[in-house]
Amino acid sequence: MAVDLLLGLQWGDEGKGKIVDYLTKDYNIIARFQGGPNAGHTLEFDGIKHVLHTIPSGIFHKTAINVVGNGVVIDPVIFQKELDGLAKFDINFRDKLLISRKAHIILPTHRLLDAASETSKGKAKIGSTLKGIGPTYMDKTGRNGIRVGDLELDNWKEKYRQLANKHQALIEFYNVDVQYDLKELELQFFEAVEAIKKLKFIDSEEYLHQAQEENKTILAEGAQGSLLDIDFGTYPFVTSSNTTAAGACTGLGIAPNKIKNVYGIFKAYTTRVGSGPFPTELFDENGARMAKVGHEFGATTGRPRRCGWLDLVALKYAVQVNGVTELMMMKADVLSGFETLKVGVAYRYKGEEIKHLPYNIEAENLEPIYKEFSGWKEDITKLKNENDLPQTLKEYIKFIEDEVKVLIKIVSVGPDRTETIIKNQ
């Protein structure tokens, strides 16, 4: 059985958690393939809002198996807090939540290194979530990391101490003021590790291979967004993993020819958290309105998101890099009430008009070229059928489809799982 893939096409925060939760009923296995607790996947149903950081977004469905893949980095303390927060929902974690032995572990000193590195950059800081993600991936590629499978070894604490000592020396090298009590952090860490060791560890690539042989349906869940990819994002203002479709292969051990549908998720407008270029960013009342109506605050950090018009150049780029087969547009309801909407359809770059994403998209290098659309005033949050959508919204959707040459299958009209319209049924 082929594997379907779901990922974000912007700078993260597109609404992946809601759609994974919505689609889980059609899948046997939900497998997270990269990132760590810097992700914040928000799900809302039955009047309750849930935010997941590491656990896959299919966890609330009793029939689905949830796999944390080898490409993910895990902070045991945050992971334990997630488990504790879900305890009241009577979830069988032992059988429904499986962790790859090859997933790397975030140590307390990884977080301290993250803070020291970011502080040392001064005004040039990249806007890290300070979760230790970058230093953990650096240890992974430097072949120094500690993996989940190491927790099953008798000498894993010796490996921990050796690596933690190395980290402390590096923190001193940065020569910045980072206050911490490592003994207290380690106390929490070791307690959380013991809690995680009660879960089931698996050789995930073999597990997923056997699942395919048994014709089980698998949905690979990505974190962050394509424009934050370490190779294809707006470097250096990116995350430390491959957030694009290729990351699903390396993050789960799935062969490229086993991927069938690639679901790309984007907002009807654009947002970004932290530093980095953002060509269509708004600094006026329109941007402030998007932020207020869309509740644009990071699910992980709480930081306000920068808001702007939809950047079609960047969206087409993400669609091409990922080989997207179906699009899903989120937060269409947030744009209700705007008299006029704009879409960035090209850039003016070095005196020329271009329609591709160049090497450097800093504001001083380019300016967006916009196409205007009439907005819609209707409240669309209670609509259930695409035929009931305002005509101007239909035209907005049709224009996007024509430009990127991929159909929009889902239109989200609210945060709840029920506020979802399936097109072309």
Q: Where are any strands of DSSP class E within 205-309?
A: 218-221, 259-267, 270-272, 306-308
Q: Would you state the structure tokens that stand for residue 193, as one six-digit string?
A: 């590790």
N-terminal to C-terminal alpha carbon distance within the chain: 24
Reply yes or no on whether 13 is catalytic: yes
Q: Would you state the structure tokens that stand for residue 382, as one six-digit string?
A: 């209670």
Q: Where are any strands of DSSP class E within 161-309?
A: 200-202, 218-221, 259-267, 270-272, 306-308
Query: One of 4, 21, 41, 75 is an active-site residue; which one?
Result: 41
Cβ–Cβ under 8 Å, residues 98 and 202: yes
CB 210: neighbour CB atoms within 10 A?
10
Q: Would you state the structure tokens that stand for residue 187, as one six-digit string?
A: 């106390």
Q: Write the CB contacts of 327 (distance below 8 Å, at least 6 apart in sequence).
A: 9, 263, 264, 265, 266, 319, 400, 401, 404, 406, 407, 408, 409
CA dihedral sign, ordered 164, 168, 173, 179: positive
Reply yes or no on whether 333 is catalytic: no
What are the C-alpha distances in Å from 358 to residues 73, 111, 313?
Answer: 31, 33, 10
165-203 as b/e, with b when 16 or more CB fall inside 10 Å?
Answer: eebeeebeebeeebeeeeeebbeebeebbeebeebebbe
Distance of CA 417 to the CA centre of its chain: 18
- Find the helix packing angle between 156-174 and 108-120, rounded to 10°: 10
Task: Tell me which DSSP letter residue 303 carries.
Answer: P
How many Å apart are CA 184 and CA 170, to the nearest integer? 20
Task: Give strand pairing partners of 8.
Answer: 265
Query: One of 13, 229, 311, 333 is an active-site residue; which one?
Result: 13
Indicate which residues carry an active-site annotation.
13, 41
